[in-house]
């Protein structure tokens, strides 16, 4: 039975349909609001705004639930691979053995980078942030790979081309930034092992592929693969709503992810933990600075727009730290600092009252450090993982007849009409 809510504005009654999701989330359908009343809604940061209907990812922030296409994140982290999870997100179901093999063949075929693109990398000044380079390079792919005629074919091939090339391009950026010889992808290696090999193999010291590291990377990327309407996915959907090509939309997502409040938090967490370690900053000082509104300091890796309990991804990542660092010969002092800082924050009233818990980024940097990934590549690692989610959301948006060009309204608070003053009559007040 259809449900409705009633809204009374300026003496006029409006009936608003209620939309219910498959897990019981409720929304008021306000699409007729402005047309019928002249009002719009005001929701900075869109915390109460449902921008689309989506069948990809379910999150429950109160209960700490995350599922891709209905499958709990814990099961995927335990049993799936990143490539299989990417397939699940994009196509809506797990692949058969044959489909998975075909996917791997495409990923291998698409993995080399056009030689002309290499020149771009060399033109960036030293110390350029790899996220800026990655965003530009992904956008540039459109110039190197023409549109295919068949839309289904175009989609499948373009998606896999993106997933394959982002891995090669990221490893290549790292090698070039260090002045090292580029290592090319190997068709005999799986997606994650190939990436680690391209990052760390060298003609001088061959890289030994460690199965635990490969598993850890699979888990890291599975945990990051989608997170419903987060900032970067919203950027991909918003930019994609203009019907621009997918490379440009994904490039916008990478830019959005770069910020320290979103994907850049993993890098910021490590900087924070290093500062505590090197400067001997006490936990009390961290907590009291994080509580102080006039201090720009925040406890990075804590808090989330949706999770008001422990982020389920952070739980898995914390366990992964124990596994990976348990076998390392050199212990990472930052892990101990992170654990103690977490304990201290979780017993603090400020963090309790505001429901601030560790998010995925709190422990992910420690796992990445254990793999040997440099800090300035952390957000790139997040971007590689999030790519299947961006693709799935872009595809869903494109195929949804209800979706429109993304174009919010505003409440104008500037001058009322204010006439032009010629330059020689102008004063500071005019
Ligand atoms: N340290 C100290 N105070 C915090 C923190 C924090 N990490 N996070 C939130 N607060 C406070 C905030 O100041 C606010 O206080 P008040 O109610 O007095 O104004 C209250 O908690 C609510 O926070 P908010 O910023 O209004 O909430 P939000 O939903 O807009 O922000 C957030 C979510 C992730 C931007 C924020 O928690 C934050 O900045 N955290 C640190 C950065 C971080 O770890 N980001 C990674 C997010 S997870 C990865 C991803 O999926 O992108």
Looking at the domain assignment, is residue 337 inside a domain?
yes
Task: Find the 393 Cα to ligand 1 centroid distance in Å.
Answer: 25
227 and 302 belong to one structural domain: no
Does the residue 407 lie in any domain? no
Phi, psi of 58 (to 5 degrees): -115, 130
- Are both 44 and 79 inside the same structural domain? no
Distance, in Å, from the CA atom of 252 to the CA atom of 234, rounded to the nearest integer, reads 10
Query: Going by C-beta distance under 8 Å and a sequence separation of 6 or more, which residues neighbour residue 104?
Result: 83, 190, 191
Residue nearest to atom 21 of ligand 1 (CA): 354
**Measured from the CB, is residue 165 less than 6 Å from ligand 1?**
no
Q: pLDDT 10s per residue in the chain (430 long)?
A: 889 999 999 999 999 999 999 999 999 999 999 999 999 999 999 999 999 999 999 999 999 999 999 999 999 999 999 999 999 999 999 999 999 999 999 999 999 988 888 888 888 887 888 999 999 999 999 999 876 656 666 667 899 999 999 999 999 988 888 888 889 999 999 999 999 999 999 998 999 999 999 999 999 999 999 999 999 999 999 999 999 999 999 999 999 999 999 999 999 999 999 999 998 888 999 999 999 989 988 999 999 999 999 999 999 999 998 888 877 666 788 988 999 999 999 999 999 999 999 999 999 988 999 899 999 999 999 999 999 999 999 999 999 999 999 999 999 999 999 999 999 999 987 7
The verdict on residue 306 lying in a domain is yes
Give the model's pLDDT for residue 328.
Answer: 66
**What pLDDT is attached to residue 155?**
61
Residue 352 in contact with ligand 1 by CB distance below 6 A: no
**Do residues 97 and 234 both lie within one domain?**
yes
Same domain, yes or no, for 232 and 307?
A: no
The burial class, CB within 10 Å (0-12 / 13-18 / 19+), for 357 is buried
Q: Determine contact, residues 141/381, Cβ cutoff 8 Å.
A: no
Ligand 1 near 264 CB (within 6 A)? no
The answer, yes or no, to whether any atom of ligand 1 lies below 6 A from the CB of 175, is no
Task: Find the DSSP H helices in 24-91.
Answer: 33-37, 73-79, 82-91
Whether 404 maps to a domain, the answer reads: no
| Pair 129, 257 in one domain | yes
Q: Same domain, yes or no, for 122 and 228? A: yes
Question: 267 with 130: CB under 8 angstroms?
Answer: no
CATH of the domain at 135: 1.10.580.10
Same domain for 129 and 53: no
Total domain count, the chain: 3
Measure the CA–CA gap between 425 and 421, rounded to whole angstroms.
6
Domain containing residue 339: CATH number: 1.10.230.10
If you take atom 30 of ligand 1, which residue's CA is the nearest one? 305
Cα of 303 from ligand 1 centre, angstroms: 5
Strand partners, 12: 9
Tokens of 19: 């939309």
What is the set of active-site residues?
A: 304, 361
- How many Cα atoms sit within 13 Å of 345 on the Cβ side? 26
Residue 406, in any domain of the structure? no
pTM for the predicted model, two decimal places: 0.93
Q: Whose CA is nearest to atom 20 of ligand 1?
A: 354
Q: Which domain holds residue 52?
A: 4-60
Same-domain status, 107 and 210: yes
State the greatest distance between any 2 C-alpha atoms of the chain, in Å, as a whole number: 79
Question: Which pair of structure tokens corresponds to residue 412?
Answer: 């104008």
Measured in Å, residue 331 CA sits from the centre of ligand 1 at: 30
Residue 20 sits in a domain of what CATH number? 2.20.28
**Judgement on whether residues 246 and 122 belong to the same structural domain of the protein:** yes
Residue 114 domain-assigned?
A: yes
Q: How far is the CA of 223 from the centre of ligand 1 (A)?
A: 20
Q: Report CA(78)–ligand 1 centroid distance (Å).
A: 29
* Residue 165 located in a structural domain: yes
- Say yes or no: CB of residue 358 within 6 Å of ligand 1: no
Is 254 near ligand 1, meaning CB less than 6 Å away?
Answer: no
Residues 191 and 76 in one domain: yes
Q: Is residue 343 a part of any domain in this protein?
A: yes
Rounded distance between C-alpha atoms, residue 167 and residue 173, angstroms: 10
| Co-location of 24 and 147 in the same domain | no
Q: Ligand 1 within 6 A of 318 CB?
A: no
3-class SS of residue 122: helix
- Atom of ligand 1 lying closest to residue 269 CA: 44
250 and 304 fall within a common domain: no
C-beta 137 within 6 A of ligand 1: no
Cβ neighbours for 178, distance < 8 A, ≥ 6 positions apart: none
Q: Whose CA is nearest to atom 52 of ligand 1?
A: 262
């Amino acid at each position: 039975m259809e449900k409705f809510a009633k809204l009374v504005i300026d003496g006029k009654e409006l009936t608003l349909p209620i939309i219910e999701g498959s897990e019981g989330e409720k929304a008021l359908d306000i699409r007729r609001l402005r047309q019928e009343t002249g009002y719009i809604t005001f929701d900075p940061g869109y915390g109460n705004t449902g921008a689309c209907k989506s069948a990809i990812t379910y999150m429950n922030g109160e209960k700490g639930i995350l599922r891709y296409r209905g499958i709990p994140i814990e099961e995927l982290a335990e049993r799936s691979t990143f490539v299989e999870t990417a397939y699940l997100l994009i196509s809506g179901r797990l692949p058969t053995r044959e489909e998975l093999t075909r996917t791997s063949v495409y990923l291998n075929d698409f993995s080399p980078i056009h030689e002309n693109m290499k020149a771009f990398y060399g033109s960036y000044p030293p110390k350029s942030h790899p996220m800026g380079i990655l965003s530009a390079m992904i956008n540039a792919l459109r110039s190197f790979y023409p549109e295919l005629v068949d839309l289904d074919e175009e989609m499948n091939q373009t998606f896999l081309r993106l997933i394959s090339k982002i891995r090669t391009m990221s490893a290549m950026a790292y090698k070039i930034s260090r002045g090292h010889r580029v290592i090319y992808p190997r068709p005999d290696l799986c997606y994650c092992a190939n990436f680690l090999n391209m990052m760390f193999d060298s003609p001088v010291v061959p890289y030994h592929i460690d199965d635990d590291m490969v598993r850890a990377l699979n888990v890291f990327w599975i945990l990051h693969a989608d997170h419903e309407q987060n900032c970067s996915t919203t950027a991909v959907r918003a930019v994609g709503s203009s019907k621009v090509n997918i490379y440009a939309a994904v490039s916008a997502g990478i830019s959005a992810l770069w910020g320290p409040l979103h994907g850049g938090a993993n890098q910021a967490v490590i900087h924070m933990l290093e500062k505590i370690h090197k400067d001997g900053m006490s936990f009390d000082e961290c907590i009291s600075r994080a509580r102080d509104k006039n201090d720009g300091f925040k406890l990075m890796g804590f808090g989330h727009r949706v999770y008001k309990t422990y982020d389920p991804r952070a739980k898995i990542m914390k366990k992964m730290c124990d596994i990976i660092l348990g076998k390392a010969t050199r212990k990472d002092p930052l892990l101990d600092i992170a654990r103690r800082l977490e304990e201290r924050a979780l017993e603090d009233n400020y963090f309790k009252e505001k429901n601030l818990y560790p998010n995925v980024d709190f422990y992910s940097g420690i796992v990445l450090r254990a793999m040997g990934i440099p800090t300035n590549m952390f957000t790139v690692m997040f971007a590689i993982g999030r790519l299947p989610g961006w693709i799935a959301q872009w595809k869903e948006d494109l195929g949804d007849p209800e979706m429109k060009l993304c174009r919010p309204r505003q409440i104008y608070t500037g001058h009322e009409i204010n006439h032009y003053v010629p330059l020689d009559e102008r004063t500071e007040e005019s």
